[in-house]
Amino acid sequence: MLTGTVSAAAELLGRSQPAVSRLLDKLESELGVPLFERRRGLVTPTSVAQLLLDEIERAFVSFESLKSFAARVAEGESSRIDTAIMPALALGFVPRLLGKFREEWPNTKILLNVTLSVKVEEWAASQQIDFGLAETPFRRSGFRIETFSDTPYIAAVPADHPLAKRARLGPADIVDVPFISWASMTSAGQLVAQAFRSCGVKYDPSYETTVSSTAYAMVKHGVGIALIDPYTAVDEQDERVTLIPFAPAIPFNVALLRPESRPANRALDALLDLMATERDRLMERLPR
């Protein structure tokens, strides 16, 4: 399926074309379903073959994860930590605390995958990472879930905007103001839309994005008003932007995902403890 023809597959495997054809025939016989349609010397994958390939790719990913884990055990349990972090926490929060972590664990390598929450969940479920930070909800299994943060989103307003003098903002305050929101495919986008509807206010954002730092930059340049996750709000801190509490409160629900087959070690525990300490310190700096 990767090469397109039996002859090309045979060349890739270092086998003869008849041998590969026999292997395909045997596989179809054992599974009891046709995997390819054969017409005039061409083989076309069936829908069953497509589904099977997806499962095989996931199996190879898990196998590679096991190989990686075995290598890490051979090197010493604290030699490497694989992570997957959503952008809101990976662009400022985590990089800042890694400097402190290195002071105590200078020989521990960190793989920091920055990706959307849906991908973090996928990698945690397939046991590819030691831990992930992602926004809820989740649809997969294979990992333990611990609440990491539920501090609400906060309004970011251009400092020279009339609304910047308000002590609190709500949906009705930004009806006639360019509003920067989250893409509808994200959890945040759905929560914000729901908050507007619950207040009887039409939800009609002028701009949508999937990354908080992008929304913050737009506010900084006077494009409009945005709802920003609390970590980005504290990390960015620009005099051109005023942070104002938003009501109704929309919690930024972030969970720590711990794959079930990845055992803990002292370095990993130390990193997670540091993250929790830094989280608490940062959240105290938000306006209330």
- For 139-193, the pLDDT digits (tens) are 898 999 999 999 999 999 999 999 999 999 999 999 989 999 999 888 889 999 9
pLDDT tens digit sequence for 74-126: 555 557 899 999 999 999 999 999 999 999 999 899 999 999 899 999 999 99
pLDDT tens digit sequence for 224-243: 999 999 999 998 889 999 99
The 3-state DSSP class for residue 246 equals strand
Displacement of CA 145 from its chain's centroid (Å): 14
Q: How big is the chain by its Cα radius of gyration, in Å?
A: 25
pLDDT at 73: 59
Type of residue at 283? M
Beta strands in the chain (DSSP E): 36-39, 42-45, 80-85, 109-114, 131-135, 143-149, 154-158, 179-182, 207-209, 225-228, 241-245, 254-259
Are 83 and 148 in contact by the 8 Å Cβ rule? The answer is no
Rounded Cα distance between 39 and 117, Å, is: 43
- Per-residue confidence at 278, pLDDT binned at 50, 70, 90? very high
Rounded Cα distance between 178 and 208, Å, is: 11
In the predicted structure, residue 223 carries a pLDDT above the cut 90: yes
Rounded Cα distance between 182 and 177, Å, is: 16
pLDDT at 169: 97
In the predicted structure, residue 58 carries a pLDDT above the cut 90: no
Beta strands in 159-281 (DSSP E): 179-182, 207-209, 225-228, 241-245, 254-259
Going by C-alpha positions, the residue among 237, 151, 136, 147 that lies closest to residue 188 is: 136
In the predicted structure, residue 36 carries a pLDDT above the cut 90: no
pLDDT at 75: 53
Going by C-alpha positions, the residue among 165, 161, 166, 167 that lies closest to residue 179 is: 161
Query: In the 8-state DSSP scheme, what is residue 233?
Result: H
Contacts of 173 (CB under 8 A, 6+ apart): 163, 166
Rounded Cα distance between 143 and 256, Å, is: 10
In the predicted structure, residue 203 carries a pLDDT above the cut 60: yes
* Of the listed ranges 45-49, 56-60, 121-125, 267-271, the one predicted with least confidence: 56-60
The 3-state DSSP class for residue 146 equals strand
Mean pLDDT over all residues of the chain? 90
Contacts of 38 (CB under 8 A, 6+ apart): none
- Domains of the chain, each with CATH number or no CATH: 6-45 (1.10.10.10), 77-150+253-283 (3.40.190.10), 154-245 (3.40.190.10)
* Of the listed ranges 9-18, 65-74, 122-131, 151-160, the one predicted with least confidence: 65-74
- The whole-model pTM stands at 0.70
Contacts of 281 (CB under 8 A, 6+ apart): none
Query: Per-residue pLDDT averaged across 31-45, rounded?
Result: 82
Beta strands in 86-201 (DSSP E): 109-114, 131-135, 143-149, 154-158, 179-182
237 φψ region: left (φ > 0), alpha (ψ -120 to 50), beta (else): left
